[in-house]
Structures are given as C-alpha cells and as structure tokens.
Amino acid sequence: MGTFLALMSYLMSMSPRVLITVCLFAVLSPMTTEQPAWGQESVPEELGQAFEAGDARALGRMMAPAVDISLFGARKRYSRNQARLLMASFFSSWPAAGFEVVDYTRTTSGWFVEARYHTTRPGSPLRLFLRMRRHDSVWLVRELIMEAPEHEDP
C-alpha cells in the first residue's frame, strides 16, 4: 500500500501534460506480468543467456521500470520499454557471439556484474557492467554500462 501511495503522490506532482503522456504510454504499451524468479546465484546466468542470444525482449523483462543505460559513454535514463527497444537496436548493430561473466558481487540489496560481451564486429569483446536491485522478490537491472575495450573506442 505504501508503494501505491508513493506512486500516486509522484503522479499527482507531475504537470497535466506529462501525466497524460505517462498514462497514454502505460495504456498503449504491451502489458506483461511475466517476471523471472531468480535464485541467489542464477542472476548472472539469466543475464548471460539473454545477452548471448541477443534477446532484447528477455533482457527487457529483467529491467526495472526506469533503467540508466550508458552505451559507449552516452548515458541516459530510459523506461523499461524504451530500454528494450534500445537494446534491440544495439543487438542488431553488435550481434551476439558470446558472453562471459568476469566477476560479480551480491549484497543484500544488489547485484553488481562485470562481464564481457562478445560480438561478431571488430573490437570484441565489449566490457559490460550491470547493477541490479531487488524489487519485491525479483532482481531487476537498474543500470547497464557497455564500454569498448580499454584499447579502442567503437
């Protein structure tokens, strides 16, 4: 109930034009209730499967309602659906050829994953950093950073 009241308070503080846009987007966006229920150690594996397959839809189901994404230095906050579309475009430009977790840390409130995203394009592998937070009983991506290898820029 507290989350609902906080959301309602936030929505009421928006300008009418922004509120109408948000409501229209919510109504017109495809609704999905499918959320993965990850065990403690399966989070990097689930992410790896989505990246290895270049599956933006599966990755989108793992994202928080608002996600900070930085692709090669251009950082911006996106809605879940915008992030999914951005990652679909990314996977089209940088086709998947493999994924490997370099390191990860799990705390009580978050996951921090460092990985290498292999692609068919020159300059592979790319460096990937993910930050996840628990929302209810589900882990969701809150931040995604994709960087070129240290020796070159894309």
Rg of the Cα atoms in the chain: 17
pLDDT digits (tens, 9 = 90+) for 77-134: 999 999 999 999 999 999 999 999 999 898 888 889 999 999 998 877 999 999 999 8
Same domain, 115 and 81: yes
Q: What is the mean pLDDT of residues 1-21?
A: 52
Report residue 51's pLDDT band, with 50, 70 and 90 as the boundaries.
Answer: very high
Residue 73 DSSP symbol: T
Contact 80, 144 (CB under 8 A): no
Q: How far apart are the first and last CA of the chain?
A: 46
Reduce the DSSP state of residue 103 to 3 states and report it: strand
The residue segments making up the domain with residue 45 are 38-147
Contact 40, 106 (CB under 8 A): yes
Overall domain count for the chain: 2
Q: What is the pTM of this model?
A: 0.68
Instruction: Identify the CATH number of the domain in which residue 127 sits.
Output: 3.10.450.50
